[in-house]
Amino acid sequence: MRVAAATIEQVRAPLRVEELEIDEPRAGEALVRIVATGVCHTDAIAQEGDFPYPFPGVLGHEGAGVVEAVGDGVTNVAPGDPVVIGWPYCGTCRNCLEGQPRYCQDIGAQVGRGTRADGSTAWRRPDGTPVHSHFFGQSSFATHSITDAKTLVKMPPEMPLELVGPLACGLATGAGAVFNKLRPAIGSSLVVYGVGAVGLAAIMAARNSGATTIIAVDRHAARLKIAAELGATETVNVNEADPVDAVQQICGGPADYSLECTGNMDVLRQAADSVGLRGTCVLIGGAPADATFTLDHITTLWGKTIAGILGGEGTSDRLIGALARLHLDGRFPYDKLITPFSLDEVNDAIAASISGEVLKPVLRMPA
Ligand SMILES: [Zn+2]
Ligand SMILES: [Zn+2]
């Protein structure tokens, strides 16, 4: 079957929409017709060559759509089901078996190998040349995707499929850090450094918790305004105040929890310094592969926890399913962050994401 996909030929090349031939689903696989897909910073990082993925290939990893066909042995989804494509995982390693597939011991290959486990790609050019697929198990910058069926999360029929893709990665990362890891105690304080889509998801999640002080820190006034609309009780513009001092003043001491969503190592230090004895600082921002940071030894000894989190932890089924339900109940209004683009506008969408002009670009596929 012929499909349209935005391919990238080499590092830093612009994406180009072309026709490819796609496989029939094999055993355990599903063919998903993509309705829309979010654009995440990791797509841009991969385009820049800072994420291991072979070219030519197809990026995109926040796909949502409708199952068109399934291969042998697939029982969790059927043709016609509305789905979001979650992160890939092996299902047999220790971490997968313990319910933490985000930390699948094969995660590097699963997200970046660009092929199935046997080395085959899901699609090829009309002349037969293979094009790499399976970026995060899906390569969703395309009208169709071949995926491992067990990564699919069924959506309630009332959930709009043109909105739901971003729940698969960026928004799950921010919200999952709060729901799965921090689990803020009643009356606690939480500070979020960097309120792009990931940080705003954390703010919306915190608003669904017992935290009573929710601080947004950023350098863009427009983002801070949205953060306040979505649940931040205080905002700090780093152009106007030292954020660590501001947090101390607001909380009357250090905060209980901090989240670092920028991937900037100076900001990470501020986030770590914003929590005190028995405080928790969580790292979720995407940084360059060689980034390192230093901490003050004595204050870290004070029972401080510094934790990195991938993809919001937990399982896609539970996390994405809950976020969709919260959205339908008006408690996770992430649709306010979305700006739609067409597949042909994929390069504009990536540029708008990098510049911060758009919080969450979503590509809508041609019908
Ligand atoms: Zn695994
Ligand atoms: Zn992502």
CA–centroid distance for 227 within its chain = 18
Nearest ligand to the CA atom of 136: 2
> For residues 38 and 167, what is the distance between their CA atoms, to the nearest angstrom?
9
The amino acid that residue 326 corresponds to is L
pLDDT in tens, 153-196: 999 999 999 999 999 999 999 999 999 999 999 999 999 999 99
Nearest ligand to the CA atom of 111: 2
3-class DSSP assignment, residue 177: helix
Judge residue 367's burial from the number of C-beta atoms within 10 Å of its C-beta, 0-12 exposed, 13-18 middle, 19 or more buried: exposed
Mean pLDDT of 71-87: 98
The model's confidence at residue 50, banded by pLDDT at 50, 70 and 90, is: confident
Cα 278 to averaged position of ligand 2 atoms, centre (Å): 30
Q: What per-residue confidence (pLDDT) applies to 56?
A: 98
Contact between residue 283 and residue 246 where contact means Cβ atoms under 8 Å apart: no
Cα 87 to averaged position of ligand 1 atoms, centre (Å): 11
Six-digit token string for 263 = 């991937």
Mean pLDDT of 225-242: 98
Six-digit token string for 68 = 């068109």
pLDDT in tens, 251-303: 999 999 999 999 999 999 999 999 999 999 999 988 877 889 999 888 888 89
Cα 284 to averaged position of ligand 2 atoms, centre (Å): 11
Q: What per-residue confidence (pLDDT) applies to 286?
A: 82
Cα 26 to averaged position of ligand 2 atoms, centre (Å): 26
Lowest-confidence range among 87-96, 282-291, 306-315?
282-291
Other residues' Cβ atoms within 10 Å of the Cβ of residue 335: 14
Nearest to 258 by CA among 320, 199, 334, 322: 199
pLDDT in tens, 102-113: 999 999 999 999
Cα 245 to averaged position of ligand 2 atoms, centre (Å): 32
Q: What per-residue confidence (pLDDT) applies to 356?
A: 85
Nearest ligand to the CA atom of 103: 1
Nearest ligand to the CA atom of 43: 2
> For residues 150 and 167, what is the distance between their CA atoms, to the nearest angstrom?
17
Q: What per-residue confidence (pLDDT) applies to 367?
A: 79
Cα 135 to averaged position of ligand 2 atoms, centre (Å): 11
Cα 322 to averaged position of ligand 1 atoms, centre (Å): 23
Cα 173 to averaged position of ligand 2 atoms, centre (Å): 8
Mean pLDDT of 229-258: 98
- Residue 99 dihedral angles phi and psi, to the nearest 5°: 80, 20
**Model's pTM, two decimal places?**
0.95
The amino acid that residue 308 corresponds to is G
Q: What per-residue confidence (pLDDT) applies to 128?
A: 96
Cα 78 to averaged position of ligand 1 atoms, centre (Å): 24
Six-digit token string for 20 = 């490819």
Six-digit token string for 128 = 């037969």
